Chain A
Amino acid sequence: MTWSATARGAHQPDNTAFTQQRLPAWQPLLSASIALPLFFCAGLAFIGLGLGLFYSSNGIKELKYDYTGNPGTGNCSACALADQDRAPPLRCSCAWYFSLRELFPGPVYLYYELTNFYQNNRRYSVSRDDTQLSGLASALRHPANECAPYQRRASGLPIAPCGAIANSLFNDSFSLWHQRQPGGPYVEVPLDRTGIAWWTDCHVKFRNPPLVNGSLALAFQGTAPPPNWPRPVYELSPDPNNTGFINQDFVVWMRTAALPTFRKLYARIRQGNYSTGLPRGAYLVNITYNYPVRAFGGHKLIVFSNISWMGGKNPFLGIAYLVVGSLCIIMGFVMLVVYIRYQDQNDEDEDAE
């Protein structure tokens, strides 16, 4: 790039700090007085935080059960066999018995965990229509192309909710029973199935289409449920505030996971006698086994867990903080040694001269 000559008689350049490159500036130099304290302070802070995180994570109880039903792993294998041939799921159920020797402190959360399930596959995660899910009536009957092949039924009816994510909605269900005394009757533990999704998801992102004559079913008239679904979307739950697109199980499922192994919140146990946790005793989880995962080598697990101030059990964070903190301290010492030796040498040079 060239510009024409300003040539002779030009004005003298402005004498400003900017044009003369004399802007006042902070010129940090990585001197020992900055670097060494930085490393030691950071190291100590990290170790402190790491200890806190480690112990709070250790204090968290977690109880897991793999109910995939691979042969010889409990009584779900019968159900699992049934899904081998991919017939429409039978109403198969199985159970997991466990007992607690002491109180499982509350609030207790019930999760299901899937492994080897690629919710983060690009083709999977784009296969949805958020316009439809936000309750826009026009989009309801015109699902986006991304939903293909779950955009329309063979009959031409639009699918609501469309897309592979919705179609693959996890549909096992669990109920928890508690036997207070040995040999006594099993009492159902109330599971709170609400409030498991983000507030913004249930109230902003997912909305039911406007009711027609006060009926959600009429609003969905002219649409078909996804092929895998036995029921239409407006029958997901009898509770009118928890059905349709704003059904919490559905909303939770639609918030796709980042990694192929993930858990999703199923319910919280915080009602009645169980608000402080699960008391000691024998328990039974009754599982309605609908969801086939063995075809692609996946596993299904039930997880009970409680949480602390920093969330659920997470040993990684605490250990990582401890390691990094220690490394900082070690590095700080190395730097200190180097610095001192260098200083000494410098002084000797000084004296020698």
Chain B
Amino acid sequence: MTVPKEMPEKWARAGAPPSWSRKKPSWGTEEERRARANDREYNEKFQYASNCIKTSKYNILTFLPVNLFEQFQEVANTYFLFLLILQLIPQVSSLSWFTTIVPLVLVLAITAVKDATDDYFRHKSDNQVNNRQSQVLIRGSLQQEPWMNVCVGDIIKLENNQFVAADLLLLSSSEPHGLCYIETAELDGETNMKVRQAIPVTSELRDISRLAKFDGEVVCEPPNNKLDRFSGTLYWKESKFPLSNQNMLLRGCVLRNTEWCFGLVVFAGPDTKLMQNSGRTKFKRTSIDRLMNTLVLWIFGFLVCMGVILAIGNAIWEHEVGTRFQAYLPWDEAVDSAFFSGFLSFWSYIIILNTVVPISLYVRFCAQVSVRPSCLPPGGGGLPRRPVRVGPVRGSLPEPDLLSPCSVEVIRLGHSYFINWDKKMFCAKKRTPAEARTTTLSEELGQVEYVFSDKTGTLTQNVMAFSKCSVSGRSYGDVLDVLGHKAELGERPEPVDFSSNPLADKQFVFWDSSLLQAVKTGDPHAHEFFRLLSLCHTVMSEEKTEGELYYKAQSPDEGALVTAARNFGFVFRARTPQTITVHEMGTAVTYQLLAILDFNNVRKRMSVIVRNPEGRIRLYCKGADTILLDRLHPSPQELLSTTTDHLNEYAGEGLRTLVLAYKDLDEEYYGGWAQRRLQASLAQDSREDRLASVYEEVESDMVLLGATAIEDKLQQGVPETIALLTLANIKIWVLTGDKQETAVNIGYSCKMLTDDMAEVFIVTGHTVLEVREELRKAREKMLDSPHAVGNGFTCPEKRSSAKLPSVLEAVAGEYALVINGHSLAHALEADMELEFLETACACRAVICCRVTPLQKAQVVELVKKHKKAVTLAIGDGANDVSMIKTAHIGVGISGQEGIQAVLASDYSFSQFKFLQRLLLVHGRWSYLRMCKFLCYFFYKNFAFTMVHFWFGFFCGFSAQTVYDQYFITLYNIVYTSLPVLAMGVFDQDVPEQRSMEYPKLYEPGQLNLLFNKREFFICIAQGIYTSVLVFFIPYGVLAEATRGDGSQLADYQSFAVTVATSLVIVVSVQIGLDTGYWTAINHFFIWGSLAVYFAILFAMHSNGLFDMFPNQFRFVGNAQNTLAQPTVWLTITLTTAVCVMPVVAFRFLKLSLKPDLSDTVRYSQLVRKKQKAQHRCLRRVGRTSSRRSGYAFSHQEGFGELIMSGKNMRLSSLALAGFGARSGSGWLEGLRRKKSDSAGSPSAGPPKPLRG
């Protein structure tokens, strides 16, 4: 780095920077920060935050009020409180207060305990962090102070392996040139070491006495959350020095490989970038959550309606009967009219009917604290870095999740654990298990329709191998056999022997020995080529023992290139900020590093300017071909065209290319340029732009050296996974920053694109009009094609009846769309986005190349907004973060490119192929379980509550409950919760292998068939039906029945016990019918719940409790007296039979007449299991399994090809048609027609039903 020798302008007022008066107003936001070293009085004026952090929310005194206040901000809790208040009004109270207060207190207590524990740990970690010791320079000597006492402007000393206490300006370090190394894993998750450097003037302040006298002042930007930006200026000794992120040590980093360093505190405590980054987390909600919210509102409306009906009934009854019944039952003093009585009765009924609203057990379960960054840096610009699970920093409260019942959360938690525990999603190589980082989305995994995938590191391994290169017009790297022909795979000759080079990397493999020959014979072009590779990079080297080099590279591409150079005899050995030492063909050469013109997404190139030992200055540049080819010196046209040919060839093979070039600079020009660069870097505003233009100036008229090609290997199982997901009707879009050729190539190699496709549309227009035209043409082609190709699948009736978009959806031919970044920018504009979407969605595969991170997010947003479909984004790198956060479900590949994507994701695992298991097995089960759970949940609550409504007509609408109050309290919490939870956690319809064999099993989730408004009404209707029977059958029987000893049976308490027992038995039988997978736990919970019901019943009705609280346990002796009556049991049996038999009959008929695919699969399994011996069935089974074999061996190689050739496709369309053919109802058909478009292939012919 260059040292400013003479500043162009000097400060007249020594040590007093301008705008003295612009202090930080104590009330407003800070505009700029000033900190003077060693001057606490001066710094105190600004009242900057101290270094004490507080992530905890409560202390002992404030805990109860604050926590309660927070909890009552939730609708559910407030609703409960409101009910509780209603119950305290004696005229209204229809239930004892404890029926409400028990669940309320339970919910509040659980949440409070959880909040308290969380906060306790936060206190603990706060304390621990605040009391960490650091060495602070106070009055000329180093003193041990806890972190919390460190102030802005202090100078502190850090030692090796210590955490950085605050955001520091690095002043000096033990290493030469003021260098120091830090690890930022806590901050952005990257584990490689980074280097920071003090500005040269301060790096000389190495002893305490000089540091104590240091009185420089830092003026810089106010606290912000940008981890990779810092701009400020140091004023010292009447000069000013620019400061950048390169000079900063941020809190959360760890000092490594550096004995000590001194730093000036610039931001402390809550102002540090680390703390600024721990924002509130926005929780994603699933579509079922949203549906539930609507349903809850509907139910609430229903509740009010019932209340009104009953209130009117009450007013009429009191008017007709009640007034004349006053001799025995006078009105309350407060009640003066039948109307008022009706009004009170309304509220009484709201209390007893409120159990119908499933708000009853809502816990703010997702109050788990998480640290997720709140900011999303604008797409494209640099690497957005995200902070991680920082030890000390926990502190954000999510917005309260309004309507998520406790049990729903428990179920989702269980599903998340199953994902974490799944051995088949554990990557043994990297020792990474799959991880559900969000527990609130599990059932949405079963509804995914669109998958947006990154390419690099997601579909590909992100293992880069230096594969080919073109050096001054000659291409190297083809695998040649002895005769010099290109060799076929599998008959490769021996790789090139690098043993003559003692520093070579043993793992490096190259097949073309002629390149090594060229280097050895001293081809100057080859030498310059590899010299460039060994100089122009940002790799760090580490040499633990002599000759054992380790490279730490930011990107794997760079690592591959430097390693290649190393093996070919240009070994990058070591670097200092101003030198690079390279072993060139065995001799050490040290280059003076004059400047690094770093890479960014806009420039797409990086350069170094070095002075070689002879004193010549040369610029080496490597970068993307599109950019670099424009900035070359035009003279050797021939070389340019051969190299371009080579580049095209490489791209065609799916290789990643870079173009290399150099330029000689003379001393004079360089001197002037360096000045301009310095000025640009000192600029206060738009520093970036000015630097870029300075860089641009020097990187021109360069001389072409050659090109490199790096192979990006596909991950294991990618084609198979894509094929399987496609069969499951999931559309896969690849969004990549790579170039079109590479992207298309990867598309072919992972079988997204096949040669069988009717056409691959490529949209590359540069203007709005061109793009629009290209999209229109594509649509026209697709519409015309069914006739042209003669595809018999799309019948004319369908086409005429449907609207245009659905016609496009129904296009049966296979098309693919490739669109590049330029065109995408136009296509995403408001007036064209629908056209684009329509076209893209009609295609089987969509590849967007050269897209920026922001565009990735926009594409996801577009589909999310207009298709109303569940989207999943999967990626591994920082450039995927925006997309991952936008999609309904974000999946991060815990791969090589750092872990930013993982941190932003909802699920993470290490291989793309695990996606099929996540969706088809876990997602499908989760969806199924959740739907079954919700159906049953609504059913049981309606069956339970509506009984009160019917009873209202027989008790003068007086809000008398049918059940004992304890039964009402315990019904939801104890008697019926665990069996349905067990079902929600453990249920399976078909075994996991089958969901892989029959990807169509995934379809009900996408069509949202298992829980929608229609299913909801069916559940409600069933619940109401049950409530009618559970009330009226006991009514009919008991009205006239007498006990065995002759006394009446129809007393209120016996009636209550009869109805309650019937209800518990009916809902238990119903859960038994709904449970498809009876594990021991299900057995235990179902039988246990029944047992507990009777145990509690007898306990509550026992003499002992009555003797203690006669007014609370009025049902004394009731259980044994009532349940001893045969009539009561006859009633219960009858009720159960009448409630359950229709359900059984309906299910049986459905199974016979129009089975789901999952029913068919289960049935065939049963047949297979049971009737193995019979020849006839053997034949059947044999055929069935052969039909499945395509899927059964899907894990083997070649499966994807089989599918894409269309041979296999017939099976899936058969399976689908078979299950579609019997589902006669029109709406289902319509839905399916809409969704199941391209499953059929021309050869399928009329669909034949498949029956298991």
Contact = CB atoms under 8 A, between A and B. Distances in A.
Interface in B1003-1053: 1033, 1035-1053
A6 B1153 CA distance: 49
Contact of A204 (B348, B1041, B1116): B1116
Contact of A29 (B899, B1051, B1107, B1162): B1162
Given A2-B437, A5-B435, A335-B1149, A24 B1079 contact: yes
B1115 to A, nearest CB: 10
B954 A259 contact: yes
Contact of A258 (B1038, B1114, B1120, B1251): B1038
Interface stretch (A67-75, A123-131, A214-222, A278-286): A123-131
B258 interface: no
B1042 A311 contact: yes
A1 B413 contact: yes
Interface in A104-133: 107, 109, 111, 116-125, 127, 129-131, 133
A43 to B, nearest CB: 9
B1100 to A, nearest CB: 14
A242 to B, nearest CB: 16
Interface in A293-307: 295-297, 305, 307
A154 interface: no
B329 A21 contact: no
Contact of B368 (A3, A312, A314): A3
Interface string B519-544: 00000000000000000000000000
A13 B328 contact: no
A102 interface: no
B507 interface: no
Interface in B937-974: 954-956, 958-960
B372 A2 contact: yes
A13 B1110 contact: no
B325 interface: yes
A87 interface: no
Contacts of A295: 324-325, 327
Contacts of A292: 327
Nearest to A14: B421
A88 to B, nearest CB: 12
B368 A27 contact: no
Contact of A10 (B389, B432, B988): B432
B992 A21 contact: yes
B1162 A27 contact: yes
A118 B1039 CA distance: 14
A15 B1250 CA distance: 36
Contacts of B1055: 258-259
A55 interface: no
A109 B1045 CA distance: 10
Nearest to B439: A1
Given A23-B1080, A198-B1117, A338 B1153 contact: yes
Contacts of B954: 120, 259-260
A92 interface: no
Given A107-B1046, A314-B1127, A116 B433 contact: no
Interface in B1148-1206: 1148-1149, 1151-1153, 1162-1163, 1166, 1180
B210 interface: no
A76 interface: no
B555 to A, nearest CB: 20
B740 interface: no
A250 interface: no
B1025 to A, nearest CB: 15
B1033 to A, nearest CB: 7
Interface in A227-247: none
Contact of A262 (B1050, B1078, B1153): B1050
Given A24-B1079, A118-B321, A259-B1039, A321 B1153 contact: no
Contacts of A97: none
B301 interface: no
Interface residues of B, number: 119
Interface string A31-42: 110010011001
A200 B1117 contact: yes
A320 interface: yes
Given A13-B433, A122-B94, A349-B1249, A252 B1047 contact: yes
Contacts of A9: 431
A313 B440 contact: no
A29 B959 CA distance: 42
Interface stretch (B471-479, B825-833, B1134-1142): B1134-1142
A213 interface: no
B1125 interface: yes
Contacts of A339: 1152
Given A2-B437, A13-B423, A167-B328, A49 B1130 contact: yes
Contacts of B420: 6, 13
B1106 interface: yes
Contacts of A145: 90
A317 B328 contact: no
A53 B1130 contact: yes
A328 B1141 contact: yes
B226 to A, nearest CB: 23
B1131 interface: yes
Interface of B: 90, 94, 281, 321, 324-325, 327-330, 332-333, 348, 365-368, 370, 372, 388-389, 409, 413, 418, 420-424, 426, 428, 430-433, 435, 437-440, 894, 899, 902-903, 908, 925, 954-956, 958-960, 986, 988, 992, 1033, 1035-1056, 1076-1082, 1103, 1106-1107, 1110-1111, 1114, 1116-1117, 1120-1121, 1125-1127, 1130-1131, 1134, 1137-1138, 1141, 1144-1145, 1147-1149, 1151-1153, 1162-1163, 1166, 1180, 1248-1249, 1251
29 contacts: A1-B367, A1-B368, A2-B372, A5-B388, A5-B435, A5-B902, A12-B423, A12-B426, A19-B422, A23-B1079, A25-B1077, A26-B1078, A86-B327, A109-B1046, A118-B955, A122-B348, A123-B958, A125-B1052, A197-B1047, A258-B1055, A259-B954, A265-B1047, A268-B1046, A296-B327, A311-B1044, A317-B1130, A327-B1141, A331-B1141, A338-B1149
Given A5-B435, A25-B988, 12 more contacts: A2-B368, A2-B437, A10-B433, A12-B428, A39-B1145, A121-B956, A122-B94, A122-B958, A124-B328, A295-B327, A311-B1041, A328-B1137
